[in-house]
Amino acid sequence: MTHEILPENDPQLKSFIAVAKDHDFPIQNLPFGIFQTNNGQASRIGVAIGDYVLDLVALCDAGLLTTADINVFNNRYLNDFFALGKPFWRATRQTVSELLRDDCVALRDNDELRQRALISQRDVQMLLPFKVAGYTDFYSSKEHATNLGLMFRGEDNPLLPNWTHMPIAYDGRASSVVVSGTDFKRPCGQVLPADSETPIYSASQRLDTELEVGFVVGTESKQGDAINVKEAADHVFGLVLLSDWSARDIQKWEYQPLGPFLGKNFCTSISPWIVMLDALLPFRVAGPKQEPSPLKYLQCTNDWGLNLELSMSLKTPDMQSYEQISATNFRHVYWNFCQQLAHHSMNGCPMQIGDLFASGTISGAEPGTYGSLIELSWGGQTPLKLSNGEQRCFLQDGDGIQMRAWAQGQDYRVGFGKLTGTVLPANNKYEV
């Protein structure tokens, strides 16, 4: 399908719902999620517009959305919607965009329907938006991979020889992916104390997170078929913000030779809103130059970088509000998602509807642009100094992280809302 800019991306479009120009959810965005109200209605698909959720079941009931089956919208997850295919996703976004325009009377002038279909986001609970089929986390920021390599292996080989030839990744656990706002317990595991040759059992003392963007697969591929890098974008429904909570001490002891395991798979948080790839088409930019040139199956036009501003903030139990600790941009990421998907499927591995693949920590070149605490505190050597006098190298109990992402247009932005998560004390039942 074409990936040219669509009529729904027009910066001139206005909704009859007022949306401030620094709001994440203008009519040019229209991200999809699953929400629930406290009035006993079942969970269903909603689209964010300004401070409201637009209830697609209500629109379908009113005959304003065409589908064979209302249960596609009246659903706990978006997976059945994904299964109807990209032309259907696109047509749905187009219809919703038309219904929300300031010159369209069908919804604007129908008081009864408007009251039923537009619900304040304050009055809904957002749920995990799709059933996660598989979860793969890439490692595609060269700056992050180099920083971690320096800390874990030293200056001799910070970037392993394979890194510039393919998107490196590990398979995570779909079962541990949660929606924003889900607090989680500090993990316990095996760690190797400094100057010791034998491990101990401990709650992680180096709990961290990684600022990432996740891609949601909406179109599957068959086992044995490789996805062509030039067609990979057609498999992606949209993007989420992703917090990859990481226990560095557990990770460090376990990761060789087969990669991350229990240091990573206790919890991964995603934003409740999925921003459709279509909504981000105006924000495509060139990615970093790839040198050496990748193998042919990874070669694509260098215009799948995305100009997404990203920020990460921290709130300790003593603080009233989140304080920003990092700001970076997604365009720095070396391997793009088309290359990640082509690589992931090139051996015949089937992609499933609801697969989630994450970018890897997004770090820029400067210290203030690092996307993880282990980089920001340089392995725990230089604590972050917070404005209230507290210091942090890693996350303590009660600490919360908030992530944001948005593409900045002229007088509007296409954003992801907020992603938050808070650390609860460990359930340390084996401790002696």
Name 211's bridge partners. 243
Instruction: Assess 143 for contact with Mn ion (CB under 5 A).
Output: no
Token pair, residue 46, equals 């909603």
Given candidates 210, 249, 254, 355, which one binds Mn ion under the rule CB under 5 A?
210
> Judged by CB under 5 A, which stretch of 61-69, 166-174, 206-214, 293-301 contacts Mn ion?
206-214
How buried is residue 81: exposed, middle or buried, by Cβ count under 10 Å (0-12/13-18/19+)?
buried
Contacts of 363 (CB under 8 A, 6+ apart): 141, 143, 144, 147, 328, 332, 369, 370, 371, 372, 375
**Residue placing its CB nearer to Mn ion in the complex, 210 or 254:** 210
Q: How far is the CB of 373 from Mn ion (least distance, A)?
A: 13
Amino acid symbol at 143:
E
**Residue placing its CB nearer to Mn ion in the complex, 52 or 253:** 253
**Residue placing its CB nearer to Mn ion in the complex, 137 or 254:** 137
Token pair, residue 140, equals 């595609």
Contacts of 325 (CB under 8 A, 6+ apart): 312, 313, 314, 373, 376, 384
> Judged by CB under 5 A, which stretch of 141-149, 236-244, 367-375, 383-391 contacts Mn ion?
236-244
> Judged by CB under 5 A, which stretch of 46-54, 112-120, 131-139, 404-412 contacts Mn ion?
131-139
Q: How far is the CB of 260 from Mn ion (least distance, A)?
A: 8
Given candidates 244, 249, 278, 355, which one binds Mn ion under the rule CB under 5 A?
244
Q: How far apart are CA 30 and CA 255, in angstroms?
A: 40
Q: How far is the CB of 172 from Mn ion (least distance, A)?
A: 8
Q: How far apart are CA 17 and CA 19, in angstroms?
A: 6
Q: How far is the CB of 134 from Mn ion (least distance, A)?
A: 15
User: Which 164-203 positions form the footprint of Mn ion (CB under 5 A)?
Assistant: none
**Residue placing its CB nearer to Mn ion in the complex, 97 or 361:** 361
**Residue placing its CB nearer to Mn ion in the complex, 89 or 245:** 245
Rg over alpha carbons for the chain, rounded to the nearest Å, is 22
Token pair, residue 240, equals 């989420």
> Judged by CB under 5 A, which stretch of 132-140, 157-165, 293-301, 312-320 contacts Mn ion?
132-140
CB < 8 Å & 24+ apart, contacts of 191-198: 191/249, 191/250, 191/252, 191/253, 192/249, 192/252, 192/253
271 within 8 A of 416, measured Cβ to Cβ: yes
379 within 8 A of 293, measured Cβ to Cβ: no
52 within 8 A of 16, measured Cβ to Cβ: no
Q: How far is the CB of 171 from Mn ion (least distance, A)?
A: 12
Q: How far is the CB of 417 from Mn ion (least distance, A)?
A: 21
> Judged by CB under 5 A, which stretch of 77-85, 93-101, 105-113, 238-246 contacts Mn ion?
238-246
**Residue placing its CB nearer to Mn ion in the complex, 244 or 278:** 244
Q: How far apart are CA 139 and CA 360, in angstroms?
A: 4
Question: Is 332 marked active-site?
Answer: no
Q: How far is the CB of 167 from Mn ion (least distance, A)?
A: 13
Judge if the upstream peptide bond of residue 257 is cis by omega within 30 degrees of 0.
yes
**Residue placing its CB nearer to Mn ion in the complex, 8 or 210:** 210
Q: Whose CB is nearest to Mn ion? A: 244
Token pair, residue 318, equals 């003593």
User: Which 286-305 positions form the footprint of Mn ion (CB under 5 A)?
Assistant: none
Catalytic-labelled residue, pool 23, 144, 235, 343? 144
Q: How far apart are CA 226 and CA 219, in angstroms?
A: 13
Q: Indicate which residues carry an active-site annotation.
A: 144
For Mn ion, the binding residues (CB under 5 A) are 137, 210, 244
